């Protein structure tokens, strides 16, 4: 048996064992819990899809802005100017040491008391600032992983700092940090569930409302979990595709 077939066999066995465990758990639970799958999720599918769309919306915008923030501050951390380094490090220290839930509350209720912002904007701003701090560290590590010989060679041929980052440092940083970035994007999607505390009608909030009105809590939250798993699993597959696509041969 070659290595590829052996890997597939191991995956099959792992999935089979997991399915068996979940099946046994479900059968045992069904003895005491009256499942009502006909009512939840199918009766409320439109509401779930609305929550799913809102979760996708805030996740996509937050990933985009967090990546921009992460690149800017990641570059600043590798700058030769100490003031830029200190500013970037201060930002990272603040947002990595405050819980996301608290940041959401500060942005929505604190800043929102001075300027009117919607729950959607509040969630996107909070997620972008919080996740951007982590992404900046990932980008910094990727930039610093580029060999000094390449940097010196680029300077020798007269490449200025801007093109040094654009043509040499950032492309290689993205290639080496792609797995970490993918993991951070997946974390962002899961963290978006905290936006339910400001009554944003995303997946978790919708699931909670349906659980309360239908008295089918287990079915409702399992449905929410399946939606989240779908998003994150697709992100993981997309990340692995780009890892293979841009792998250094």
Q: Tens digits of per-residue pLDDT, 110-158? A: 988 889 899 999 999 999 999 999 999 999 999 999 988 888 888 888 8
Nearest Cα to Cα of residue 211 among 19, 21, 51, 30:
51
Q: What is the DSSP string of 45-83?
A: HHHHHHHHHHHHHHHHHHHHHHHHHHHHHHHHHT-S-HH
Over residues 90-98, the mean pLDDT reads: 96
For residues 168-180, average pLDDT:
92
Structure confidence at residue 4 as a pLDDT band (50, 70, 90): low
Distance of alpha carbon 61 from the chain centroid: 11
Report residue 101 as tokens. 């839930």
Q: What's phi and psi for 114, nearest 5 deg? A: -95, -40
CA torsion sign, 170 to 171 to 172 to 178? positive
| pLDDT at site 1 | 56
Q: 2: pLDDT confidence band, cut at 50, 70 and 90?
A: low
User: Structure tokens of 214?
Assistant: 């239908």
DSSP state of 215: S
Helices (H), the chain: 3-30, 45-77, 82-96, 100-105, 119-144, 148-156, 161-163, 170-191, 203-214, 217-245
pLDDT digits (tens, 9 = 90+) for 18-69: 999 988 988 888 888 788 887 788 899 999 999 999 999 999 999 999 999 9
**pLDDT over 60 at 169, yes or no:** yes
**Average pLDDT value for the chain:** 91
Give yes or no for a contact between 130 and 191, defined as CB atoms under 8 angstroms apart: yes
Residue 135 · residue 74 · CB < 8 Å: yes
**Over the stretch 196-224, which tens digit does the pLDDT of each residue have?**
999 999 999 999 999 999 888 889 999 99
Instruction: Check residue 247 and report its DSSP letter.
Output: -
Task: Give 205's contacts (C-beta < 8 A, 6+ positions apart).
Answer: 51, 195, 196, 199
Task: Identify whether the C-beta of residue 180 lies closer than 8 Å to the C-beta of residue 2.
Answer: no
* Res 77: pLDDT: 95
**Would the pLDDT of 246 be above 80?**
no
Tell me what percent of the residues of the chain surpass a pLDDT of 70.
Answer: 97
């Amino acid at each position: 048996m070659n290595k590829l077939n052996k890997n597939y066999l191991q995956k099959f066995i792992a999935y089979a064992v997991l399915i068996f465990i979940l099946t046994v758990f479900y059968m045992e639970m069904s003895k005491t819990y009256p499942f009502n799958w006909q009512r939840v999720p199918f009766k409320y599918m439109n509401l779930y899809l609305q929550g799913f769309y809102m979760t996708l919306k805030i996740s996509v915008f937050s990933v985009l802005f967090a990546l921009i923030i992460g690149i800017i501050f990641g570059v600043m951390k590798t700058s030769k100017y100490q003031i830029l380094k200190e500013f970037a490090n201060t930002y990272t220290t603040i947002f990595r040491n405050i819980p996301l839930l608290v940041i959401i509350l500060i942005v929505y209720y604190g800043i929102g008391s001075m300027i009117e912002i919607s729950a959607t904007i509040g969630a996107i701003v909070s997620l972008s600032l919080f996740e951007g701090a982590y992404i900046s560290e990932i980008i910094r590590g990727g930039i610093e992983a580029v060999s000094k010989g390449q940097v010196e060679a680029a300077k020798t041929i007269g490449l200025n700092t801007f093109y040094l980052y654009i043509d040499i440092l950032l492309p290689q940083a993205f290639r080496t940090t792609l797995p970490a970035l993918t993991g951070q994007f997946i974390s962002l999607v899961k963290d978006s569930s905290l936006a339910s505390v400001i009554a944003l009608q995303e997946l978790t909030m919708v699931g909670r409302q349906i659980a309360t009105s239908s008295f089918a809590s287990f079915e409702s939250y399992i449905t929410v979990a399946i939606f989240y798993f779908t998003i994150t699993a697709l992100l993981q597959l997309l990340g692995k595709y780009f890892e293979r696509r841009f792998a250094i041969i």
